[in-house]
Amino acid sequence: MRQINQAFTMTHDFPVCFDRGTLDTDNSLLVDIVTRAGAGPHRVLPVIDDEVLKGNPDLIERLREYARHHAERLTLIEPPLMVRGGEISKSDPVEVDEFYQRTQTDKIDRHSFALVIGGGAVIDAIGYAAATAHRGIRLIRMPTTVLAQNDAGIGVKNAINYRGRKNYLGTFATPFAVINDFDLLNSLPARECVAGMAEAVKVALIRDGEFFHWLHDTRERLAKFEPDAMEYMITRCAELHLEHIRTSGDPFEQGSARPLDFGHWCAHRLEELSGSELRHGEAVAIGIALDSLYSHARGTIDSDTLGRIRTTLEGVGFNLTHPALEALDIETALEGFREHLGGRLCITLLLSAGKAEEVDHIDLATMQDCRRRLLEDEWPL
């Protein structure tokens, strides 16, 4: 027997930028980013969420004017690829297939760029397409929702749904860059602004108690979408997510522990049960509430912490009950999450505001009672 042990290390390096007016002709951020790949001009295919275009009808013309102004370094591939916004872009293969077709008809290669401007679902789907076409086309993400700017659009995951299973097909592939333009949130519906705050509450509860207390104390300003409060919330949430990816030692999720999935074991199932009527953030908020009740039931957080979690979630605008929660088969959902993790159940639960632990067992009777309490609005005092 002969064996050759192969090992090598790669450095993954990409900027996550926070900006306003990215497509103003005097703003050099985007063109400076593509020039990191060399002098250019670089060919860029814009992929645009059609929901974003509804709120920003001049977006395509602004892109074209920007490209004309920076023609020596950036060339737009026309026409832009328009894709459907929302979960349909991940559940129907049309969007991914259209991207593959454009790579062929427009001769887009691994030295070209895809610039995806959209919400988290579109970024996930086009990220998957870009990572698999030619085994990796350079991707610049420009997230347009709160959820995408503070979580979904800044990490290394790309995924689409398959046969009713959320994120069943996917890759871990770093983007070339991420540009969070706060101006793109101005036309976002209120429901989408609220939904994105769930990930901030989640990461604060498991990583940063001081940030959680800030969220609690600032909940009324966040509910009004005050710009200063929203920008700090998005930036700090993104920092904490990126810190975990960078320092956890498991950025591509080879292990079973997934602390960033606090509240998520039931959230994906709630989305499926609601036929995607529940936004991801709305389902996560319910999942946070359920797992916080369970953490309290097992005696690891006190009633004051539990109460602050509830008032924070409800204070920014979340409804913590939904018919999908009543329909949830807890045992089946836990088993599905166990399979998703590779065979070993690992659930993140709270020890305090800002500190968490992973457990490999959930008492079904206790979790059922916590679900009942949530549905009947019967929170411990």
Q: What pLDDT is attached to residue 3?
A: 95
Report whether pLDDT(44) > 90. Answer: yes
The pTM of this model reads 0.92
C-alpha pair distances (Å), 321 with each of 117, 160, 220: 32, 27, 21
d(CA 374, CA 368): 10
* Residue 350 near residue 292 (C-beta atoms within 8 A): yes
Whether the CA torsion 46, 117, 162, 138 is positive or negative: it is: positive
State percent of the chain over pLDDT 70: 96
d(CA 118, CA 78): 18
d(CA 209, CA 158): 29
Report whether pLDDT(376) > 60. Answer: yes
d(CA 310, CA 83): 37
Report whether pLDDT(256) > 60. Answer: no
d(CA 176, CA 16): 9
Domains along the chain with CATH numbers: 16-185 (3.40.50.1970), 190-246+253-375 (1.20.1090.10)
158: its two tokens: 């790309």
d(CA 141, CA 166): 21
Residue whose tokens read 């909940």: 219
Report whether pLDDT(350) > 80. Answer: yes
Q: What pLDDT is attached to residue 297?
A: 97
pLDDT of 119-159, one tens digit each?
Answer: 999 999 999 999 999 999 999 999 999 999 999 899 889 99
Q: What pLDDT is attached to residue 247?
A: 83
Residues whose CB is less than 8 angstroms from the CB of residue 219 and which lie 6 or more positions away in sequence, other chains included? 311, 312, 315, 316
List of E strands, 25-164: 42-49, 74-76, 81-83, 113-118, 138-143, 157-162
- Report the greatest alpha carbon distance in the chain: 68
Kindly report the number of other CB atoms within 10 A of residue 316's CB atom.
26
pLDDT of 45-67, one tens digit each?
Answer: 999 999 999 999 999 999 999 99
pLDDT of 198-235, one tens digit each?
Answer: 999 999 999 999 999 999 999 999 999 999 999 999 99
